[in-house]
Structure 1
Amino acid sequence: MSGTEVLLAAALAAAAVGWQLAWGAELSRGQRAGAPGRVLYFTVRTALAFAMSCLNPFFSIFALMGYFDASQHLSRSWRRWGLLGVAVTLALSQSSVADGPPPDETTELALFSVLFVLHATLALVLDRANDRETEKRREQQAVIEELEIANARYERASRENAALQAQLVAQAREAGVAAERRRLAADLHDTMVQGLVGIVTQLQAAVDADGPASRAHVERAVALAVHNLTEARRAVHDLVPGPLENRTLSEALQETVERWSATSAVRPDLTVVGTAEPLHDEIESTLLRITQEALSNVAKHAHATRVGVTLSYIDDEVTLDVRDDGRGFVPGHALQLSDRGGFGLDGMRVRAGRVGGVLDVESEPDGGTAVSARVPLVRR
């Protein structure tokens, strides 16, 4: 290099350094690719690199920066032109025409052409790979945004579902309270209220009668009072099923059967079929109460000599059967068992239905009676 070329190269190098420093702070403000400032910066830098590479191939290192940051400064439509400009600079610096363009010999031109094709191909391949990577990041970002939106919707739906579930639980609790109130009202009406009416009637008759007739009315009033007391205790007992506390359902049924047989001339047989499982408290309470009422009805109306109680665990269902060989009745003209203080067949059906079960009754005159309750097997 001559002295003039050295001075020119030094001046261009100083200009390139100044240009780089002057625009470094400006570009750090986050201008988007394709902004006028970024395009101007890249164009002037590439031109300075080309001029310095013409003076000395060593300065091509400065031009090499364009391969790595073209996507940051140029829009997609102008990026490839910028990369081709960098490829021209690098091909020129590596060819034998480093003394300055234009080449005037065929060999030098051929070498320059081959190097340019190699650099241009490399630049375009890298640009294509960069586009794919950018598109991939864009798709990933879109997926992340969609997931964030989906998560926000899921959280909102979860909160709405939680609120709805709380509302449904509250409604179910209110419905359960209302149903229990109706049941208690029916029990009170069918037992204590009717019993008290009977007691009052007998006492009034005793006041109006004299001698043995008055005593008979008083005795009947006492009997009604004792019976009413029993029913009142039974209603309280119905609220808190003590036999199920710390006992399995089969054990509670066995205790019920034994207690019933102690006051009856008939000893019932209890049979458990299948593998016994701990059931939901409401299921066990329902089956126990149905058994107690069915046995009570047998004692009051059946005049049976044999009674059998069978508890069966079958797949997803539990079946309770209470059978007797008593006098039976015509199902279409069933006895109103509640007339004597119990809640009768209708009450047992209501109990079974309350836990999603059903109650069937089979009977015929002098052919015995079979009460069968089927409820879902809901584990505790």
Structure 2
Amino acid sequence: MTSAVEREQRWERNLKVLPFVLLTLATAICVATFPEVGPQSRGARVIFGILVAATAVWTWRWMYVYGRPHPVGYIGRTALTAVLTAMHPLFCIFGWIGFLDAFDSFRGRWRWVAMAATAAIMAMGQTGGPPPYDNPWQSLLLPLLFVLNFGLASLMGRYSEHLDAVSRERAATIGRLEEALAENARLQEELLAQSRSAGVRDERERLAREIHDTIAQSLAGVVAQLQAAEGSADAQDVRRRVARATEMARTALVEARRSVQDLSPAELAEAGLADALAALVAAWRDDHGAEASFVVVGDAVALHSEVEATLLRIAQEALANVAKHACAQRVGVTLTFDAAEVILDVRDDGSGFDPTAPVRGSSFGLGVMRDRARRLTGSFTVESAPGDGTAVSARIPALPRGPA
């Protein structure tokens, strides 16, 4: 298919050729009618031919050498056309070309002056030549034909101006749309780059949380069990602690694989949240010898896997903090199911601490628990005082099992 640019170029070529086509046609008609109309003497006809050749050269110079319509070119061609039409009325056939490029040759009111000059030439040719006339009807027709030619040309000129304005507006709109598309493409590239960067950052944070909450805790448990076994004189106790250390090491390996694959915690693979927390509390009690209890309040329901994983990780971290810092004798874990949210509370009677004190660089656990809760638009609070134990509470929307 022909493109818009190719069609425009073809129209420009045709418009450059059109004056010469009309000049040839007008000259041929004039020559054919010499016996009845136009110059009768041989000398007048030679002058007519010279003027036709001059018109052709003048038109060629301004159309092809200069390259575009120009006021000087228009005035010279119109003057030659007026003289030739006065010599032979039918030469006004060529004069019509003045209507075509008046708007391209002039600006402002001079356009209408050029249109009026061309309309006068056309009226003169249509009435049979310049005045004075022997027939009164010719004198009457001359102004009427001038008005008619000028009116029709003005109407077409106005319409051409309207089309030009619409074309410029469309071109400007297309330009703005192209700029908007380019800007949108640039913004999309920036968003993609930011999304990739955020994805990398989120994945790093996720792996950090997973390693801290699972693998690091399991390995710390392995070290604790092995150290306890090393200092024990009871062979049965040594075997029990080594077996427990082996189990923890295997759990750490499983969690490492699951962290890489972004799967749910191993404890939730075949059990619900309440059962997984009960098993976690029981294992922690066996490992540390402290009194630990677990209570479920409300009807346990299946929650979204991300919610269950988050609560389980918070409970693991809270119990790890109790074992590491609190020196507690009693620990209580409560899981409360509400209509709108699920609440996890972990309390101990340990040494406690001052929550308003500056956070040590190694205190990573509380921040991890808080980030986990906020990640699901939940909340995390800590209540503690030196010598009065610690209570942490995580409240998370009770999203049902299925897509969040």
TM-score, length-scaled by structure 1 = 0.63
Residue 16 of structure 1 contacts residue 45 of structure 1 at CA under 8 Å; is this kept in 2? no
- In 2 relative to 1, CA 373–238 (structure 1 residues): closer, same or farther, beyond 3 Å? farther
CA-to-aligned-CA distance 1:138-183 (integer Å, 9 cap, x gap): 2322332233233333323332333333333334434444454555
Partner of residue 151, structure 2: 121
1:308-347 paired onto structure 2 within 5 Å: 309-311=335-337, 314=340, 318-321=341-344, 329=349, 347=365
Q: What residue is the counterpart of 1:232 in the other structure?
A: 249
2:95 is aligned, of 63, 68, 80, to 63
Query: In 2, distance between residues paired with 1:266 and 1:181?
Result: 26
CA 1:117 to 1:134, structure 2 compared with 1: closer, same or farther past 3 Å? same
Contact 1:349–1:359, Cα closer than 8 Å, also in 2: no
CA offsets per residue over residues 316-344 of structure 1, 9 Å max, x none?
A: xx524469xxx97489679xxxxxxxxxx
Q: Which of 60, 67, 80 lines up with 1:31 in the alignment? A: 67
Give 1:188-207 correspondences, 5 Å limit.
190-200=220-230, 202-203=231-232
Contact 2:225 2:241 in 1 (8 A): yes
Amino acid at match of 2:96: L
Shift of 1:193: 2.7
User: Which residue of the other structure, out of 72, 79, 102, is the alignment partner of 1:47?
Assistant: 79
Whether 1:256 aligns to 2:288 is: no
What's the secondary structure of 2:272's corresponding residue? helix
Aligned-residue offset at 1:85? 1.0
2:375 corresponds to 1:358: no
Does the CA contact (< 8 Å) of 2:78 and 2:118 recur in 1?
yes
The separation in 1 between residues aligned to 2:180 and 2:201, in whole angstroms, is: 30
Structure 1 letter corresponding to 2:369:
R
Aligned pair in 2 of structure 1 residues 165, 63: CA closer, same or farther (>3 Å)? Answer: same
Identity score, percent: 26
Selected match of 1:112 from 136, 142, 147:
142
2:322 is the alignment partner of 1:286: no
C-alpha distance in structure 2 between counterparts of 1:303 and 1:146, whole Å: 68
- 355, 373, 380: which one aligns with 2:394: 373
- How far apart are 1:294 and its partner, in Å? 7.9
> In terms of mean alpha carbon deviation, does 11-20 or 144-153 score higher?
11-20
Q: Is the 8 A contact 2:86 2:125 kept in 1?
A: yes
1:76 to 107, 110, 121: 107
Cα distance, 1:70 vs. partner?
A: 2.3
Taking a change above 3 Å as real, the CA distance of residues 347 and 224 of structure 1, as seen in their structure-2 partners, is farther
Contact 1:319–1:372 (CA under 8 A) maintained in structure 2: no
Question: 1:321·1:370 contact (CA, 8 Å) conserved in 2?
Answer: no
Shift of 1:86: 0.6
Match of 2:188 among 158, 161, 173: 158
Shift of 1:63: 1.5
Superposed CA RMSD: 5.0
Q: Which secondary structure does the structure 1 equivalent of 2:394 belong to? A: strand
Which amino acid in structure 2 is aligned with residue 287 of structure 1?
A: L
Q: Quick one: structure 1 residues 232 and 221, their matched pair in 2 at CA, closer, same or farther if it must change by over 3 Å? A: same
Q: Match of 2:131, SS?
A: coil
What TM-score do the two structures reach when normalised by structure 2?
Answer: 0.60
User: What 5-or-longer segments of structure 1 have no aligned partner?
Assistant: 204-214, 335-345, 364-368
2:123 pairs, out of 87, 91, 114, with 91
Alpha carbons of structure 1 residues 232 and 165: separation in structure 2 relative to 1, 3 Å: same
| Cα distance between partner residues in 1 of 2:238 and 2:316 | 26
CA contact (8 A) 2:82 2:121 kept: yes
